[in-house]
């Protein structure tokens, strides 16, 4: 939730609190006026008019307070929706960064040719194109056959 949203909600919440206090004071005045009217045996026309004004004011205050609370609720829902969308976008971006590793197909291994291709000594680039081909005699000599051998195999012709 952004700082602006928090400040806006805080302001609306303070306003709703002030409206709640005004409504409580107004209801207190209504209750006092009703008690006075009861004691006076029904009340005067002036008291009745005053009661109507206070009740109308109470309705306006309540409607205003409900509007403020509705605004807060709307802001909370919008912020939650935005957070969900951001989380989905982040999750989608993270999925793009992952690499799926598949198990090697053993059946392909069985189908490999038993002969060595001509370019078996080649070095391939990323597209599978041979870049370097090593020349071979086709024979591999046993290093133990050569007494002077230092463990290297001479594959040059």
Residue 139 has pLDDT above 70, yes or no: no
Structural domain boundaries in the chain: 3-97
The residues, ordered by sequence, that sit 6+ positions from 19 with a Cβ below 8 Å of its Cβ are 61, 64, 65, 68
Higher pLDDT pick, 156 / 63: 63
Contact 30, 43 (CB under 8 A): no
**pTM of the predicted structure, to 2 decimals:** 0.49
In tens, the pLDDT along 25-72 reads 999 999 999 999 888 888 888 988 999 999 999 999 999 989 888 888
């Amino acid at each position: 939730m952004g700082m602006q949203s928090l400040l806006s909600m805080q302001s609306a919440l303070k306003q709703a609190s002030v409206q709640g206090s005004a409504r409580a004071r107004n209801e207190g005045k209504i209750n006092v006026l009703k008690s006075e009217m009861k004691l006076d045996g029904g009340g005067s026309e002036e008291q009745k008019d005053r009661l109507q004004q206070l009740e109308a004011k109470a309705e306006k205050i309540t409607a205003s307070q409900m509007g403020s609370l509705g605004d807060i609720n709307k802001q909370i829902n919008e912020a939650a929706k935005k957070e969900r969308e951001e989380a989905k976008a982040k999750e989608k971006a993270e999925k793009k960064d992952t690499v799926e590793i598949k198990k090697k197909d053993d059946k392909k291994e069985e189908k490999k040719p038993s002969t060595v291709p001509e370019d078996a000594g080649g070095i391939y680039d990323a597209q599978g194109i041979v870049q370097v081909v090593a020349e071979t005699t086709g024979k591999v000599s046993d290093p133990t056959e050569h007494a002077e051998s230092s463990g290297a195999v001479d594959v040059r012709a």
